[in-house]
Amino acid sequence: MIKLVAFDLDGTIGETLPLCIAAFGEAVSPYLSYKLSEKEIIQTFGVNEEGMVKKVAGEHWQEALNDFYMHYQKMHAICPKPFEGIKEWISELKQRNIIPALVTGKGERSCQITLRQFEMADCFDAIETGSPDKNIKAEALLSLSDRYKLQLSQIVYVGDTVSDVISCNQVGVKCFSAGWAKSADLKLLEECNEGRVFRTVQSLISVLNLEF
């Protein structure tokens, strides 16, 4: 029986990927001799914003990082609220005594900016944020297992990328792929997570309700 549902943030809780790309581009451009393409920005993903900025801004990474937070907060009107049904689902999980957690590759500061914007700062019982050095979602899931004394089979993860599926497979956590964001690559998700890709929040809720 499922005891904990862990959520990704960007592309799962809200359509924040365009915001991340736009703010990152604005932040690092003054420190480069050329404008980064969207593809180049996406290639820095997997680590938190500190790690992303360090990859491209060199010795000016600290200034660029400060600029990123400024732009990220200022531009959050691009994505003013979470996907429909997410907040209600988390409230329902709590009513069922199922632990809602957040496991994101974002840094703590940008994560909190988004949660405040979404009025979700108090929604999650546990929040695990990313590292500047590598993707640590697998380690974060193990940490949640230890913290709440749960078997990994009692935890599920909801995320929107292939890397989320890979991280879950590394530690034996079942991953359900969120395909409701515009940025979701449904074909790739189906190839690596067949039968567990969902195009709407409600369709995933309906399936998970059978496992609680």
Angle between helices 86-95 and 201-208 (to 10 degrees): 20
Looking at residue 57, its pLDDT comes to 93
Block means of pLDDT (10 residues each) for the chain, 212 residues, are: 97 97 96 90 94 94 97 96 97 96 98 98 98 97 98 98 98 98 96 97 92 74
Q: What is the pLDDT of residue 35?
A: 86
Distance CA 32, CA 22 (A): 15
- Residue range 4-15+81-208, CATH number: 3.40.50.1000
167-197 pLDDT tens trace = 999 999 999 999 999 999 999 999 999 999 9
Contacts of 71 (CB under 8 A, 6+ apart): 22, 23, 26, 27
Neighbours of 36 (CB within 10 A): 17
Query: What pLDDT is stored for residue 186 in this prediction?
Result: 97
Dist CA 51 CA 65 (whole Å): 9
Output the pTM of the full model: 0.95
Contacts of 44 (CB under 8 A, 6+ apart): 24, 51, 52, 55, 56
CB burial class (10 A; 0-12, 13-18, 19+) of residue 75?
middle
Determine the pLDDT at residue 160. Answer: 97
